[in-house]
Amino acid sequence: MKVLLVCILLITNLSLAHGTENELHLGRFSSGDLSGWKEQTIGMLKAKTSYSIAKDGEKTVLVARSNKSASGQIYKLKLDLKEYPTLSWSWKIDHVFKKGDEKSKDGDDFAVRVYAVFPRGFFTKTRAICYVWANKLPRGSHIPNPYSSNIITVAVDSGDELAGQWISHQRNIYEDYKNFFGEEPPKIGAIAIMTDSDNTGESTIGYYGDISLLRQKKTDEVNQKRKDQKSKDTPQKEGKPKEIHNEEQPMFKVQPTEIQPGSAADEPNQQNGTSKEQPGVGVKPLTPPAAPSSR
């Protein structure tokens, strides 16, 4: 059964993830790096899926080819998800399975899937979240795996609508675990991927991009700094426009006044048109003294 892929003891031979302060790089497939990943077979007589680094256009990726086969790749680690709660990855498919059905064992095949594995003592208690490109399950929904209620299948993509396109995802697996199982998660024991078609008897090709875990603490610090900076800037930005609004009123703007009929301001000024430089709008200009006449 495929549940054996994730219901394993993950105590020894743990892999050391490489990365920066903010990100742990588990699958650096774009660099042709498969270090840390080990093949996980399902039964002695089961045909295995082929995994290889290859080019997809300009991208270097991990390509999985399955023909009535099932096997996976697993990266073992031991990590507190409070520090690195977010799983980041990308993938692509050629097509979903016609006979694929997330609710039945006979249809439990996926062109691509990514597991987050949580050991809990005995292997029968091991839990996992399985993110899949679903065949029929609506995008955004989740159900218990038909093989075990300790595995939750989550449809992050679904159907053929986006087939042939690279799709990137980030999931907070710490929060997902709490929501799905109603408790604090233990330390994560592995990340696994699998492309399989043994139950449906079909063939498929799945593509996997880089896989990493993102650190929460640094993300929170960056977000908090941005928030604090925005709070400092907001009063200035809000106050300045008001100031500018007041200062940018026309220098000689005249407030409207009530004009009495018959007043001088009511008479048209025939000699001088309205001028932008004259503040005295509506004021009758002074008549200059007459020039002395010469005889």
3-state SS track over the chain: CHHHHCCCCCCCCCCCCEECCCEEEEECHHHCCCCCEEEEECCCCCCCCEEEEEEECCEEEEEEEEECCEEEEEEEEEECCCCCCEEEEEEEECCCCCCCCCCCHHHCCECCEEEEEECCCCHHHCEEEEEEEECCCCCCCEEEECCEEEEEEEEEEECCCCCCCCEEEEEEHHHHHHHHHCCCCCCEEEEEEEEECCCCCCEEEEEECCEEEECHHHHHHHHHHHHHHHHHHHHHHHHHHHHHHHHCCCCCCCCCCCCCCCCHHHCCCCCCCCCCCCCCCCCCCCCCCCCCCCC
Query: Is residue 293 one of the residues assigned to a domain?
Result: no
| 197 and 236 in a common domain | no
Q: What is the per-residue pLDDT across 17-54, written as a single tens digit (0 to 9) for each?
A: 555 678 999 999 999 999 999 999 987 888 999 999 99
User: Does the pLDDT of residue 157 top 70, yes or no?
Assistant: yes
| Arithmetic mean of pLDDT, 93-108 | 95
Query: Is residue 251 one of the residues assigned to a domain?
Result: no
| 240 and 177 in a common domain | no
| 60 and 184 in a common domain | yes
Query: Is residue 179 one of the residues assigned to a domain?
Result: yes
- pLDDT category at 151 given cuts 50, 70, 90 is very high
Q: What is the per-residue pLDDT across 186-241, written as a single tens digit (0 to 9) for each?
A: 999 999 999 999 999 999 999 999 999 999 865 565 456 657 776 766 555 444 33
| 241 and 131 in a common domain | no
Q: Rounded to whole angstroms, how far apart are CA atoms 15 and 188?
A: 12
| Domain, as residue range, for 229 | 221-246
| 227 and 181 in a common domain | no
Residue 144, amino acid: P
Tell which of 214, 237, 269 closes a domain: 214
| 119 and 17 in a common domain | yes
Q: Rounded to whole angstroms, how far apart are CA atoms 266 and 268?
A: 6
Length of the chain: 295
Q: So what's the pLDDT on residue 44?
A: 81
Query: Is residue 278 one of the residues assigned to a domain?
Result: no
The answer to whether 27 touches 210, Cβ cutoff 8 Å, is yes
| 98 and 237 in a common domain | no
Q: So what's the pLDDT on residue 130?
A: 98
Q: What is the per-residue pLDDT across 45-83, written as a single tens digit (0 to 9) for each?
A: 889 999 999 999 999 999 999 999 999 999 999 999 999
Q: And the tokens for 140?
A: 């955004």
Q: Per the structure, how many domains does the chain have?
A: 2
| Arithmetic mean of pLDDT, 134-159 | 96
User: Does the pLDDT of residue 267 top 70, yes or no?
Assistant: no
Q: So what's the pLDDT on residue 216?
A: 80
| 122 and 226 in a common domain | no
Q: What is the CATH number of the domain that holds 172?
A: 2.60.120.260
Query: Is residue 252 one of the residues assigned to a domain?
Result: no
Query: Is residue 291 one of the residues assigned to a domain?
Result: no
Q: And the tokens for 182?
A: 């109603």
> To the nearest whole number, what is the mean pLDDT of the chain?
79
Could you give the percent of the chain with pLDDT greater than 90? 62
| 237 and 183 in a common domain | no
- pLDDT category at 120 given cuts 50, 70, 90 is confident
| 65 and 96 in a common domain | yes
| 44 and 190 in a common domain | yes
Q: So what's the pLDDT on residue 82?
A: 92
Query: Is residue 277 one of the residues assigned to a domain?
Result: no
Please indicate, yes or no, whether the overall pTM of this predicted structure exceeds 0.85: no
| 92 and 140 in a common domain | yes
User: Does the pLDDT of residue 264 top 60, yes or no?
Assistant: no
Query: Is residue 75 one of the residues assigned to a domain?
Result: yes
Q: So what's the pLDDT on residue 20?
A: 62
- pLDDT category at 3 given cuts 50, 70, 90 is low
